[in-house]
Structure 1
Amino acid sequence: MHPKTESHNVPIIKAERGFRAWWMLLRPHTLTAAFVPVIVGTLLALQVGPIHIGLFLTMLTASLLIQTATNLFNEYFDYKRGLDTEESVGIGGAIVRNGFKPQTVLNLAITCIVVSILLGIYICLQSSWWLALVGSICMAVGYLYTGGPYPIAYTPFGELASGLFMGVVIILISFFIQTGYLTSTAFIHSIPIAITIGAIMLANNIRDLDGDKENGRKTLAILLGRQNAIRFLAIMFIVSYCLIFIMIIFDYSTWWSILAFLSIPKAIQAVKRFVGKTKPIEMMPAMKATSQTNTLLGFLLAAGLLISTIISQ
């Protein structure tokens, strides 16, 4: 669930045309938050038995579609509220910058939701219809993140909602559809991923702090203040790595999961690049590093799970 992009009168992304314009509209850098949890959840299931490749691919596609729909709803509602201009910082504002029709963006978002529902029906047929309820809640949160009268992204709960539904819930669903049950191991593995997904949202809110405050929003970054928000971002990273170490020590995870620690330099880089910065354009490298931290940590954790499974066989 990618948060909004504010207008700060500092150009950073030029107008795009053709395929690249469509690709940027989907906000591809956010999609790692959709497929990393699916991969981690599936590899956790692989440790206890064979996996159903068709279910994995279906879950992966559905997760990516829901994330894409969330991004498109974000684009549409930010435009409707007059928050995006041609000078918006970030890759938002495609409607005003690249000439997309608002209705086209909305229709594309709805199409993604419809297709994900169809995929969800297949998943339910292969596992449990209780997932229909869980999936419906996930799609509703995706819409309400920036849609509706009280968007979640404009409150202090944006990071929590993103981490909970994109991290914890997606990992647990991915594990459940393969095994038919849930374990504490799957839940514990979901927490570090959830935290780093929430960190992406916090990084965006730190960048957009001044503009959000002008628009009367109450994001976590605003409530904490810029400096404390940066400190909190660092704490989120520290907690994530400490949890992975605890998982290893108490045999919830394999020692191969220590590979996730190779992403620590990127986390340090993300925090350092925020320090002393006040202009949104100056904080873009920090945001990028935060997103990369989530990607690297997730893939390295997944790699550790895969290696341990191969060795044990």
Structure 2
Amino acid sequence: MQSMKKQDIQTALNERKGWQVWWRLLRPHTLTAAFVPVFIGTMLATLQEPIHVGLFLAMLFASILIQAATNMFNEYYDYVRGLDTEHSIGIGGAIVRDGIPPKKVLALAVSFFGIAMLLGVYICIATSWWIALIGLISMAFGYLYTGGPYPIAYTPFGEVISGFFMGTVIIGISYYIQTLSITSEVIIISIPVAILIGAILLANNIRDLEGDKENGRKTLAILFGHKGAVTFLGMLFGTAYLLIVLYIIAGLLPIWSLIVFLSIPKPKKAIQGFANNTSPLEMLPAMKFTAQTNTIFGILLGISLLLQLLIPITF
């Protein structure tokens, strides 16, 4: 019976063997949360001076590697603590359903961190060694998100910390390595992106609410309950879009940034999906729409900055 349940889950999730097992281990739907902040920070820098392509690529790959490694630490420690089983719903399952040895997942995560550190050395040599300190702190929090004796993911602070490091910090570093400066405007502009990255984590926790509750986690989704968490998710979406309007009025962003509103159908579908469903499997599309919101919103925001560079509009 358990074998059948496992097979049913793999069929429902369209999980296939071969190289796709390793692709799922990376949790590709989360990797755009690493790309978007680097893209936006770099596009903000282009408004000041031409970008250094080598630094952009190094920052991009380092950010993606750290995110992928964080996902693997998550996979490993959720398995070790018994949170993930072969019947768990979600993209995580390389260990419990696909049979990848846990130590191999852990070793791969550490190796990704190592490669990211080498890229960081290149960035530091070209810019400032202060970047090394910030990078090491970010990597430490990536590990501590699910690793260590008191995992951040098991607390109500997961969304805030993830949004801060993956949104604000990465945007700030991406801007700094191009301009060797940082401004309050860059930090302020990073806030909507940080909010939407936090929303991805909240969406994941809404899906896993019941299982997390049984395992003693204290996430925001558990504290708010399903209905309250969905309402809060909607508030996060609304705040991100509202901030764009306010930033345009304040002159922090160009009028071109209104194109981010083209992404609005995605958060609408996410909220509807969470509001109308309660089982983890049924909520998977809503999770996908939440991740797509961050991706499309972020890419459009970055494009709006590029458009302002190419076709400046001032009032």
TM class, shorter-length? over 0.9
**Secondary structure of residue in 1 paired with 2:282:** helix
Aligned counterpart, 2:295: 295
Equivalent pair of 1:15/1:97 in contact (CA under 8 Å): no
The aligned residue for residue 83 of structure 1 is 83
- CA–CA distance in structure 2, aligned partners of residues 89 and 97 of structure 1: 11
Q: Which residue of 2 aligns with 1:258?
A: 258
Shift of 1:185: 2.1
CA contact (8 A) 1:34 1:64 kept: yes
Unaligned runs of 5+ in 2: none
Any idea what SS the aligned residue of 1:40 has? helix
Specify the alignment match of 1:148 in structure 2. Answer: 148
Partners of 1:90 and 1:284 within 8 A in 2: yes
- Residue 185 of structure 2 corresponds to 185
Unaligned runs of 5+ in 1: 1-7
Q: Are the equivalent residues in 2 in contact too, given 1:156–1:219 (CA < 8 A)?
A: yes
TM-score normalised over the length of structure 1: 0.95
In 1, Cα distance between equivalents of 2:271 and 2:89: 19
Aligned to 1:195: 195
Backbone CA RMSD of aligned residues = 1.4
Partner residue in 2 for 1:3:
none
Aligned residues: 306
Following superposition, the deviation at residue 14 of structure 1 comes to 5.6
Looking at structure 1, the residues matched to 109 and 210 of structure 2 have their Cα atoms a distance apart, in angstroms, of 29
Task: Report the alpha carbon displacement of residue 187 of structure 1 after superposing the two structures with TM.
Answer: 1.1
Match of 1:307 in 2: 307
C-alpha offsets along residues 34-57 of structure 1, whole Å, 9 cap, x if unaligned? 010000000000001111000000
- Aligned runs of 1:101-120 on 2, under 5 Å? 101-120=101-120
- Distance in 2, Cα, partners of 1:209 & 1:85: 15
* Partner Cα distance (1:175, 1:119) in 2: 17
1:231-283 deviations in Å (ceiling 9; x for gaps): 10000011100100011011001000000011112111111111132111111
Taking a change above 3 Å as real, the CA distance of residues 80 and 24 of structure 1, as seen in their structure-2 partners, is: same
Superposition deviation, residue 16 in structure 1: 3.1
- Look up the match of 2:134: 134
Give the whole-Å Cα distance in 2 for the aligned partners of 1:276 and 1:20. Answer: 30
Aligned equivalent of 2:213: 213
TM-score (norm 2): 0.94
Instruction: Indicate conservation of the 8 Å contact 2:83/2:212, yes or no.
Output: no
Q: Which residue of 2 aligns with 1:276?
A: 276
- Residue in 1 aligned with 2:53? 53
Supply the distance in 2 between the matched residues of 1:276 and 1:57 (Cα, whole angstroms). Answer: 41
